[in-house]
Structure 1
């Protein structure tokens, strides 16, 4: 299921071949086979990996097309300017692809890839695919930590993704799966979801979230209470955990800004609000990995959503750079 990235994804404008202050991401990124990772990294090392998968969304009866997002987002990232200095290393470790409906196997392979990066102090940025990417992301965190720490899950999402999975797992079940696995190990489920839409979740799903101890902030509360109140709650959640994985389902965004997602939301978050909340979360060194999911290039208008996703990833990279400086 693993392939190295096609170099054609990283092409763009060149203002200089020698002056690093004039470089763009495609001139700096290091395309590398995942199997060649070795040695601990100092400074800020970031590893991109794609999770090309539509299977979870298909099983959840959503609009497929997110399979194409990793390479599309790479192309949108390629010409963005490099502002981060020589202390930051950006790798591209290729793609895990689910081409045969074997979602569970693909999630397991993604988990191994995430673990490999974390083991050598590389911050994983995972580009989905559907939001089922979050389960593979979690598997990697868990294997890396080997039960040494509690893992908090901070999710920016319009949906809880806590549906029953007695028939099949999907892009709508993974946080319930994780909660059940932790309960079986007599461990507490630490899950916070920011951006919940009341119109996007049944009464039963709200009850399920309460049952599992999920902390959540609805979209309308973010605007009525103000970002500072939300930031305080996010900080408190991060402080209460020993390590935090950050996951973003792009349907948390307003459809006017992000039409190319699997489940568009007319009352979603504005990009500037989401950017502020993301950057505040990543300021903490407890946040050790990030994924973005459900960008659908096949349903995008003029590439707007792909470009927005690339800009959000750029903000994550900048936040990691600023975190190192602090």
Structure 2
């Protein structure tokens, strides 16, 4: 299920071919084959890997189309300015693609890729795909850390994604799967919408001891107080896995997602949350999910995803 990125995706405007201060990302990103890459990094390095899947969204009765997102987001990233330290390497390690509805197999392969990147001292930056990407992401993190280490998952999302999975896993079951599988995991969700989750899901979150912040608590001006809750959660864990579901944005900002909502967060608010979380220096992997290019008629949602990824890269570097 693994495929290399087409080098032609990384193309765009060129202001100079010699002055690095004028470079754009497509001039510095190195497309590599992860299966044959074994160079452990001594300096800061970021490894982009796509997860081309909307099988989990389909199973969750959502709007399919997120499969196309990784390459479309790469295209939007390509011409953004290269404003990073000279010693930082940016690699593109291709895509894991879910084929023939074999979601669990694709998640396993993504987990193996994430684990390898972490072992090579490369920060995994994972582009979904549906939010089922988070389970594959977690498998890689779990494989890398010590069994006694506490893994804290911070999910910026409108939904808990803790549905039952007795019959089938989906893009709405991952965090329940994770908490059932690993007792050393904690879960914090920021941006939860009252109209986006049944009472059953609020009850399940409580029964699992999940911390969360409602969207309205963040939007009503008390964001610094709410961010302190996130920092307390981060302090209680050894490692942080950060995941962002793009349906947390208001649909005026991000119409091209599986489950748009009029009451979502603004991009500037989400950027603030990401900066605060990354400032802990405990985050060692990130994924973004649920961008649906087929529903993104003007391209603004793909562009927003590219800008969010750029912010993550910048805050890792500095």
CA distance in 2, matches of 1:97, 1:28: 25
SS at match of 1:17: coil
Q: Counterparts in 2 of 1:22-171, with a 5 A limit? A: 22-171=22-171
Secondary structure of the 1:166 match is: coil
Per-residue CA shift, 1:207-230, capped at 9, x if unaligned? 000000100000001123522112
> What is the rounded CA distance, in whole Å, between the counterparts of 2:87 and 2:310 in structure 1?
16
- Written as runs of structure 1 = structure 2, the 5 A alignment for 1:1-326 is 1-182=1-182, 187-224=183-220, 226-322=222-318
User: What whole-Å deviation, never above 9, does each CA across 1:186-217 have from its counterpart, x for those lacking one?
Assistant: x2440000000000000000000000010000
In the TM superposition, what is the alpha-carbon distance from 1:162 to its structure 2 partner? 0.2
Task: Spell out, residue by residue over 1:289-322, the C-alpha distance to the aligned partner (whole angstroms, 9 max, x if none).
Answer: 0000000000003100000000000000000011
> What is the CA–CA distance in structure 2 between the aligned matches of 1:321 and 1:220, rounded to whole Å?
31
**Within 2, Cα distance between the matches of 1:10 and 1:264?**
29
Give the TM-score of the pair, scaled to structure 1.
0.96
- Aligned-pair distance for 1:148? 4.2
Question: Structure 1 residues 144, 31: CA separation in 2 closer, same or farther (over 3 Å shift)?
Answer: same
**What SS class does the counterpart of residue 217 from structure 1 fall into?**
strand
Counting matched residue pairs gives: 318
Uncovered stretches (5+) of structure 1, i.e. residues with no partner: none
Residue segments in structure 2 that go unaligned for 5+ positions in a row: none
1: CA distance between counterparts of 2:98 and 2:263? 32
Q: CA deviation at 1:149?
A: 1.2
User: Hey, what's the Cα distance between the residues in 2 that align with 1:103 and 1:225?
Assistant: 40
User: Which secondary structure state, in structure 1, belongs to the residue aligned with residue 220 of structure 2?
Assistant: helix
**Counterpart Cα distance in 2 of 1:287 and 1:247:** 10
Is the 1:189–1:213 contact (alpha carbons within 8 Å) kept by the matching residues of 2?
Answer: no
